[in-house]
Amino acid sequence: MTQTSPVIPKAAVRGTASGVLFLSFFGAFWACLGFVSLEGWEIPWLLIIAILVSVALCVGGFSLRRAAGQLTDQVTAENAHYWKRAGRWFTIVFATQGIAIGVTSAICGATGHYELILPLTALIVGVHFLPLAPLFRVKSYYITGTLLCVLSVITLLTVPSKVTLHGQQILLWWVIVGFGSALILWTTGLSLLLAGRRLLRVYASARNR
């Protein structure tokens, strides 16, 4: 009996790689927001760690994307239609998220509550991950979205917005939400990277039988 290799579409692995790169970039963005919010208490090693983690994930994402070149482009008409529709819905979800963040930031700025911008943005980003989980069939997005929402809510309810250390005021909400969101996004990116590599190992193992 002839052993055939599993059909793992190139687009699926490349999509996973794109997710890794996306999460790496935005993880670095959130970490930078947390870093600058320390206002005079910047700790260099935090920035170094953020850079190293983001670079490592980027390298992994690009490596995964390059490795996808060995896979087939063959997809069924049904799958092609699904992912085309998923792309449209992603655009809608992403645009809605952007509008919600813009409106929220404008309201917070107009009312003088700038400290609320980052926690509420994290809440919006968390909610936006929930429809992406079934859309892209990535169950870990449920966890990512939930963790971002919980981080935002707990920070708002239990942590003082600002603290003063040695006469220097620190926007604590931004620090906690910034670094916390970065950690959540990086962890999700790592999980996607490992999932993509598992797909490649399955493909390679089947070919070598």
In this prediction, residue 206 carries a pLDDT of 59
In this prediction, residue 198 carries a pLDDT of 85
9-28 pLDDT per residue, tens: 667 778 888 899 999 999 99
Q: Is the pLDDT of residue 207 over 90?
A: no
User: From start to end of the chain, where are the E strands?
Assistant: 163-165, 168-170
36-88 pLDDT per residue, tens: 888 666 677 888 888 899 999 999 999 988 887 776 666 666 666 776 787 88
User: What does the alpha-carbon distance between residue 19 and residue 61 come to, in Å, rounded to a whole number?
Assistant: 8
In this prediction, residue 9 carries a pLDDT of 62
81-124 pLDDT per residue, tens: 776 787 889 899 999 999 999 999 999 999 999 999 999 999 99
Q: Dihedral of CA 168/165/158/142: which sign?
A: positive
State the Cα torsion 134-139-140-146 to the nearest 10°.
60
DSSP code per residue over 121-141: HHHHHHHHHHHHHHHHT-THH
In this prediction, residue 80 carries a pLDDT of 66
User: What does the alpha-carbon distance between residue 92 and residue 192 come to, in Å, rounded to a whole number?
Assistant: 23
112-156 pLDDT per residue, tens: 999 999 999 999 999 999 999 998 888 999 999 999 999 999 999
In total, the chain counts a number of residues equal to 209
User: What does the alpha-carbon distance between residue 208 and residue 199 come to, in Å, rounded to a whole number?
Assistant: 15
Q: Dihedral of CA 146/121/181/52: which sign?
A: positive
